[in-house]
Structure 1
Amino acid sequence: MDRKRTAMTLWCLGSINLDRFYHVPHIPAPGETLAARRLTTGIGGKGANMAVAAARAGARVVLIGAVGSDGAWARDRLSEWGVDTRYVASVEGPTGHAVIVLAEDGENTIVIHAGANAMLSEAPLGAAFAEAAAGDWCLIQNETTLQSEGARRARAAGLSVAYAAAPFTAEAAMTMAPLCDLMILNRVEMEQLAAATGRGPAAQGVARVVVTEGADGAVLYAADAPQGVRVAALEVEAVDTTGAGDTFTGYLLAGLAAGLAASEAMTWAAKAGALMVTRHGTADAIPTIDEVARKFGGEGNLGG
């Protein structure tokens, strides 16, 4: 593969959660009570998931976030998985957590409590971006605080900013659009943003917009590709869709940080997301680049 530049660091401002998975026959209807067949736990949160995915794709990843007084184990586990956690603060209160109801067909419903993710101060941001180098990437999502401040500080330090617009609100996406170089959102979110702004994906004021469409793949929109460039999805038997979007995003940013063209980075991201849905779990289940290469082909190396 041709690289445009030497691989850079990915600075991820994001959430860290304790995930509790309740395995049920189907997603409960309103008012319905179901007995879970089993309970499993693990580390999740969009920030942690994306950071782990990028690290397993071979990127150097620094996570900026917060855990509660009960969260040292999460920080240690993330470090074991190759994520730099020096800028994960410890705050008073509980670590963020998610209750995930997982049906047999792989679909899920999730309830999140922000916990420490909503208590992040500006101090770790300042310290982290003082260390960052121009040309690095910063990845931000909506499960923590200080998104706009983080984007401004990252840009001031010469970083490119990617924004994963989830959990989605049109207001948050419109606030972040002028501050980011890349926006990633799914088809439903893009429809909601288009309804709020009256503009399609190529006209949101962002240099590049990636819209993920599940089994239909993903589409890249840019000024030179207003009609979109599609990357196909891979056919697999899904058992759990939790974390698939985060895996896609982490791999996409790892590829961009390694200097890949956006379409090539998206191809790797699609492969990783496809392999992820064949597994149960969140951060612990995210595949490595070697596993993706063995399953779907490729060099097994984004970094050159």
Structure 2
Amino acid sequence: MTIWNLGSINADHVYALPHIPVPGETLAAHMLTAGLGGKGANMSVASARAGGKVKHIGAIGPEGGWMLDRMRGYGVDTSSVATLDTPSGHAIIAVAESAENMIILFPGTNRRISPAHVDTTLAAAKAGDLFLTQNETNLQVEAARAARSRGLRVTYAAAPFEAAAVRAILPFTDLLILNEIEAEQLSKETGQGPGSLGLADVIVTLGAEGCLWFHGNEESRFPAARVTPVDTTGAGDTFTGYVLAGLDAGQPMPEAIRLATRAAALKVTRHGAADAIPTKQEVLAFSPG
């Protein structure tokens, strides 16, 4: 099968600072790192590194070719990423010595994907394939509807959380993945808990406490591996990508979740986003302390 991921592609510029600057302050950074990011790209890379066949649907600007090179190097099919005449999405991330951070996100081409491009791409999808999307592009609802009509299983990662976006896409969703805070926000908006949304499957990630899986009337808890984290960026994206790859390979959901929790635990022991996502071989060889 194939995982079709309508998702963001961002260049992450991370500046290490003594503290977060206040308005009007000029502050010199003592280190700059640049890498591949964006929730969509992170999830595609995670699925590919887990052994999944991933086709990314998105857009970059004329300066973004290096990001596609990086994604292809990790095994992602980028043939359905359009190149537009406006700047790519990017994030300016300031990280203080205290680990406090500040992020400025420019959506860029991630919000300029055309309906025709999505329709043409999904025309090649087959019933039984998987479709994945998040909240960092346009056309999530339209694409989810089209994917469902073609017999694809739709997964929605509800981040960054937007109540209206979640409400709009839930009718076309089979698997919902969200973190504990997002689950609380959704419950306040809908008056329903994760297990009463009427979806086939809901996964609520709990960080260091693992995750909960709601399936029908059943609720299952999966513990997380115990590690000492150095950077939690992209951990949830790694988890989601690994779950999708497991399902794509025909694994039962519990098996896919167990490997995904190990992958996310290994990811947080590394600095970076997409570039730090582990391979399946690394996850299988991983021995948590």
TM-score (norm 2): 0.94
One-letter amino acid of the structure 1 residue matched with residue 244 of structure 2:
L
Partners of 1:155 and 1:208 in 2: CA distance? 15
SS at match of 1:131: coil
Query: What's 1:92 paired with?
Result: 85
Partners of 1:267 and 1:105 in 2: CA distance? 32
Query: Which of 121, 127, 137 pairs up with 2:130?
Result: 137
Matched, 1:231 2:232: no
1:105 offset after TM fit, Å?
A: 6.5
Trace 1:27-106 onto structure 2 (pairs within 5 A): 28=20, 35-103=28-96
1:77 offset after TM fit, Å?
A: 1.9
Which range moves more in the overlay, 191-200 or 103-112?
Answer: 103-112
One-letter amino acid of the structure 2 residue matched with residue 235 of structure 1:
R
1:104 offset after TM fit, Å?
A: 5.0
Partners of 1:220 and 1:106 in 2: CA distance? 31
Partners of 2:11 and 2:46 in 1: CA distance? 17
Superposed CA offset, 1:196-255 (max 9, x none)? 111100112321111111111110112131xx2111111111111111111111001111
SS at match of 1:238: coil
Q: Is the 8 A contact 1:10 1:257 kept in 2?
A: yes
Q: Is the 8 A contact 1:177 1:205 kept in 2?
A: no
Q: Is the 8 A contact 2:61 2:86 kept in 1?
A: yes
Partners of 1:68 and 1:272 in 2: CA distance? 31
1:32 offset after TM fit, Å?
A: 9.4
Q: Is the 8 A contact 2:195 2:217 kept in 1?
A: no
Q: Is the 8 A contact 1:155 1:161 kept in 2?
A: yes
Query: Which of 137, 147, 157 pairs up with 1:154?
Result: 147
Query: What's 1:165 paired with?
Result: 158
Q: Is the 8 A contact 2:46 2:277 kept in 1?
A: yes
1:30 offset after TM fit, Å?
A: 6.1
One-letter amino acid of the structure 2 residue matched with residue 293 of structure 1:
L
**Structure 1 residues 20 and 185: alpha-carbon distance in aligned structure 2, compared to 1, 3 A threshold:** same
Number of aligned residues: 287
Query: What's 1:175 paired with?
Result: 168
Partners of 1:135 and 1:101 in 2: CA distance? 42
1:131 offset after TM fit, Å?
A: 1.1
1:186 offset after TM fit, Å?
A: 0.6
Query: What's 2:233 paired with?
Result: 242
Which range moves more in the overlay, 106-115 or 38-47?
Answer: 106-115
Q: Is the 8 A contact 1:271 1:292 kept in 2?
A: yes
1:260 offset after TM fit, Å?
A: 1.2
Partners of 1:124 and 1:140 in 2: CA distance? 15
SS at match of 1:240: coil
Structure 1: gaps spanning 5 or more residues:
1-7, 298-304
Which range moves more in the overlay, 163-172 or 203-212?
Answer: 203-212
Q: Percent identity?
A: 53
Query: Which of 264, 274, 278 pairs up with 2:265?
Result: 274
Trace 1:111-122 onto structure 2 (pairs within 5 A): 111-122=104-115
One-letter amino acid of the structure 2 residue matched with residue 255 of structure 1:
G
**Structure 1 residues 218 and 25: alpha-carbon distance in aligned structure 2, compared to 1, 3 A threshold:** farther
Trace 1:176-255 onto structure 2 (pairs within 5 A): 176-225=169-218, 228-255=219-246
SS at match of 2:286: helix
Structure 2: gaps spanning 5 or more residues:
none
One-letter amino acid of the structure 2 residue matched with residue 115 of structure 1:
G
Q: Is the 8 A contact 1:107 1:241 kept in 2?
A: no
**Structure 1 residues 232 and 31: alpha-carbon distance in aligned structure 2, compared to 1, 3 A threshold:** farther
Query: What's 2:10 paired with?
Result: 17
Partners of 1:108 and 1:235 in 2: CA distance? 24
CA RMSD of aligned residues (A): 1.7
